[in-house]
Amino acid sequence: MLETVLDIFDNFWVALGAKLLLVALLIPLIGMVIGFAEIKLSAKMQARMGPYFAGGRWGWAQLIADGIKFFQKEDIIPDNADRPVFKTAPMLVLVGTVALFVVIPFGPGLIFRDLSVGIFYALAISSLSTIGVLMAGWSSANKYSLIGGLRAAGQLIAYELPLVLAAVGSVIMAGTMSMSGIVEAQITAGYPYVIFQFVGFGIFMVAALAELTRIPFDMPIAESELVMGYLTEYSGFRFLFFFLAEFANMFTMSAIAATLFLGGYWLPGIPTETLEFVGPVILLAKVFLLAFAMIWFRWTFPRFREDQLQTLAWKWLIPLALANIGATAFFKVVL
């Protein structure tokens, strides 16, 4: 019986459909879990209650209600907006996020597609959403959106470099660019790479925060300055797309960081045979730990100024990341 069910998935199209469905369900689910964590944790940090009534207990259904609200809203496109670009931008942002799920290993063999250039693909595809943000800012026919979009472009270009360079350290240590290969290398080595790559991990997390345009790097949105930045003119389900993409992106960035530096689905002391089952749980635990840190930063820090952000990237993070690569390569060759 089970075999016949599994046989169906041997068909390429059925398997593809199943995977697509899984991702399509996974992203809103993850977005909601992290989004709910954010609203509840921020309430806790600010001596507030947070949502309380939706769903009966703890306001657990708040984000579902919000989602339904967004769908009910009128679809407003400004008169002067560049309509096709305006409509494409949110999709492009979400595509950049969804495509990242392809290479995240949730367990041994539990990966949508184990590309041999996995990390390279992940970092390349994550820049896709930059274009979406720039398109959103450009097409909105709003000066605040324009400034926000250009800020986003400048910021994401600046932080793409430290992000990639920080990942290189782990790649050198593992000797492979495949995401599951990196995890397996950590299992073989017997320790997560963060022990030697703590500089790389720190740079990666800072750069990831900037990629996600979260506080302290949320200048493209900067509510107090640019109203809502590139999102100013978006409402309804288009806004929901950006919203989902933000939280799903938090997940994928945390998952990549966990895979590269924290041993992915593996934890020291867990027998490797059981990883097929506990692996996803371990990965999720690590992801939520990192996502918690991101939420914590967001509700603690103010935002940088645009020039301070660029200074941080070009004068500190990139040289530091290069030094980290040099040191890693040196020890790899010598030891």
Partner 1 sequence: MTIDADTIRHLSEVSVSVELQTEDMTLNIGPQHPSTHGVLRLVARVDGERCHDVQPVIGYMHRGYEKLSEVRTYPQITTIVNRIDWVAGYANEVPFIVAAEKLMGVEAPERAQYIRLILTEMARMASHLVFMASYPLELGAATPLFFALRERERVLDLLEGVTGGRFHPNFNRIGGVKPAYGAGSSTRKMIQDLPAGFLKDTRDAMGRVLGVCDELEDLVAGNEIILARTKGVGILPPEVAVSYGVSGPNLRASGVSFDLRRAESYLPYESFDFDVITGENGDCWDRWWVRLQEIREAARIIVQAVDGIPAGPLQAKVPKIIKVPKGETYVRAENPKGEMGYYLVSDGGTGPYRLKIRSASFSNISVLPYLLEGILVPDIIATMGSLDFVLGDVDR
The Cα–Cα gap between 257 and 284 comes to 12
Segment interacting with partner 1, rule: CB under 8 A, options 16-24, 38-46, 249-257, 280-288: 38-46
7 vs 223, beta carbon nearer partner 1: 223
Judged by CB under 8 A, does residue 66 bind partner 1? no
Rounded least distance, CB 141 to partner 1, Å: 13
In the complex with partner 1, the residue whose CB is nearer, 188 or 224, is 224
* Residue 234 contacts partner 1 per CB under 8 A: no
Q: Which of 306, 322, 327, 329 binds partner 1 (CB under 8 A)?
A: 306
Q: Taking the chain, what is the end-to-end CA distance rounded to the nearest angstrom?
A: 52
Residue in the block written with tokens 């506990």: 278
Q: Does 227 bind partner 1 (CB under 8 A)?
A: yes
Distance in Å, CB of 310 to partner 1, minimum: 11
- Residue 332 sits in the site that holds partner 1 (CB under 8 A): no
Using CB under 8 A as the binding rule, whether residue 233 contacts partner 1 is answered as no
Is residue 218 a contact point for partner 1 (CB under 8 A)?
Answer: yes
**DSSP letter for each residue of 167-194:** HHHHHHHHT---HHHHHHHHHHHTS-GG
Name the DSSP class of 274.
G
The span from the CA of 102 to the CA of 171, in Å, is 18
- Residue 203 CB, nearest approach to partner 1 (Å): 18
Least distance between partner 1 and beta carbon 32 (Å):
21
Residue 239 interacts with partner 1 (CB under 8 A): yes or no? no
Over the window 161 to 200, marking each residue x when it contacts partner 1 by CB under 8 A and - when it does not, the resulting string is ----------------------------------------
Burial of 71 (0-12, 13-18, 19+ CB in 10 A): exposed
The reply to whether 313 sits near partner 1 by the rule CB under 8 A is no
Rounded least distance, CB 41 to partner 1, Å: 11
DSSP string, 6-35: HHHTTSHHHHHHHHHHHHHHHHHHHHHHHH
Question: Binding residues for partner 1, how many (CB under 8 A)?
Answer: 29
- Asked whether 320 and 305 are in contact (CB, 8 A), the reply is no
Q: How far apart are CA 271 and CA 275, in angstroms?
A: 7
The Cα–Cα gap between 36 and 30 comes to 10
User: How far is the C-alpha of 129 from the C-alpha of 131, rounded, in Å?
Assistant: 5
Nearer Cβ to partner 1 (118/148): 148
303 near partner 1 (CB under 8 A): yes
Helices (H), the chain: 2-8, 12-45, 62-72, 83-98, 118-126, 128-139, 143-174, 179-189, 198-211, 223-226, 236-261, 275-298, 306-311, 318-334
Q: Answer yes or no whether residue 274 interacts with partner 1 by CB under 8 A.
A: no
The reply to whether 45 sits near partner 1 by the rule CB under 8 A is yes
Binding residues vs partner 1 (CB under 8 A): 42, 45-48, 143-144, 147, 150-151, 215-216, 218-219, 222-225, 227, 299-308
